[in-house]
Amino acid sequence: MKHLSKLPNVGTTIFSVMSALANEHNAINMSQGFPNFKSDSKLIDLVSQAMNSGFNQYAPMPGNMELREAIAKKMELLYNSTYNPETEITVTAGATQAIYTIISTFIRPNDEVIIFRPAYDCYEPAIEINGGKTISIQLNAPHYKVNWEEVSTHFSSKTKMIIINTPQNPSGSVFTKADMLALQKLTENTNCIVLSDEVYEHIIYDGLEHESACKFPGLKSRSFITASFGKTFHNTGWKVGYCCAPKELMDEFKKVHQFNVFSVNHPTQKALADYLKEPNNYLGLSEFYQTKRDLFLSLIKDSRFKYIPAKGTYFQVLDFSEITKENDVDFAKRLTINHGLAAIPLSVFNDNNKDDKVLRFCFAKTDDTLKKAAEIINNI
């Protein structure tokens, strides 16, 4: 049988490649973005309780109501922003599904979607499969700052959507209030939708505040915010997330969601609803990861890698330009095979695989793993 691929340029993701290489060579895996420590046992017990008390059939299509209410309360508490849990919040199978469904709901052939590179890898294939055109704006190491004048030169009536991600994977940079105000101004009086991927909202450092799109009224009215419980509660394998948006946008989203996913794993939703009611379960996350970032960086401060401390996320970018002239993919492979440490080369997230000689290390790891990784890094 012959068929024409709808995604001819998509192969195996770098995450699978590096994780397979890490396994094959028994390397420490700092490549893929998941913690190697356990989720809180209280949360795991809550899932068993939910199963034992009968939450085993379909959840309502937009999600368990208690969970949607808990999400609405969290948005109110953190950002002083009101979302109606009946109509403006949908629980999804991870943020990835929310992102895919948002793009599928609104992007038609030839619509343009602006993304900032280096970009998380699920945006572009979703745009492409729906016939949209990705307009990439390349940000540069080491600060990955947006030049909003440059963005405005790419912005036109064809721009149906802008995707932002703050705190940003893979660079560890964050959007400031000035960035959000510039985006608000750029999109004012247009029909452009903003997809604000905020899966690392609770992981931000050095006293910085997360600038959620919902804090800016002009942005909130055109934005979907996507979030991930996997990132927040150390259980990426559960694949539960959600999105929030004004009712008119969410009504359209739900039309697609109900025939694609319909509803998400119910006992997990019930457990997350109970767990989310206690704000201390997420408010300490920045401090928790900042301690890990600081430990990792203090251990490698005398190495030949250069860095600017990540401002958010659990990823640290390290510059290896003083070590080798190899391209980043080759160096990442050599680091895994010869030295036993896996990381992700940033070029895979860039326009035309631009190589800034930097690798991304996930520091959501036990202190013991971070110490072992630092030993390797210090010997390179």
Ligand X SMILES: Cc1ncc(COP(=O)(O)O)c(C=O)c1O
User: Which residues here bind ligand X, judged by CB under 6 A?
Assistant: 33, 94-96, 120, 165, 169, 197, 199, 228, 230, 236, 239, 241
Asked if residue 236 lies in contact with residue 33, where contact means CB atoms within 8 angstroms, the answer is yes
Please report how close the Cβ of residue 216 comes to ligand X at its closest, in angstroms.
Answer: 20
Please report how close the Cβ of residue 7 comes to ligand X at its closest, in angstroms.
Answer: 18
Asked if residue 216 lies in contact with residue 184, where contact means CB atoms within 8 angstroms, the answer is yes
Please report how close the Cβ of residue 199 comes to ligand X at its closest, in angstroms.
Answer: 4
C-beta of 221 vs 236, nearer to ligand X: 236
Please report how close the Cβ of residue 133 comes to ligand X at its closest, in angstroms.
Answer: 21
C-beta of 239 vs 311, nearer to ligand X: 239
CA 155, CA 185: separation in Å to the nearest integer? 12
Please report how close the Cβ of residue 121 comes to ligand X at its closest, in angstroms.
Answer: 9
Beta strands in the chain (DSSP E): 28-29, 89-92, 112-117, 133-138, 159-165, 193-197, 223-228, 241-244, 315-319, 341-342, 344-345, 358-362
C-beta of 364 vs 374, nearer to ligand X: 364
CA 329, CA 207: separation in Å to the nearest integer? 34
C-beta of 228 vs 265, nearer to ligand X: 228
Give the contacts of 29 (CB within 8 A, at least 6 positions apart).
18, 19, 22, 23, 36, 342
Please report how close the Cβ of residue 32 comes to ligand X at its closest, in angstroms.
Answer: 8
C-beta of 230 vs 267, nearer to ligand X: 230
C-beta of 165 vs 336, nearer to ligand X: 165
Asked if residue 195 lies in contact with residue 103, where contact means CB atoms within 8 angstroms, the answer is yes
Q: What are 364's strand-pairing partners? A: none
* CA nearest to 222, candidates 101, 102, 95: 102
Q: Which residue is nearest to ligand X (CB)?
A: 94
Tell me how far CA of residue 267 lies from CA of 15, 88, 109, 279, in angstroms: 29, 22, 38, 20
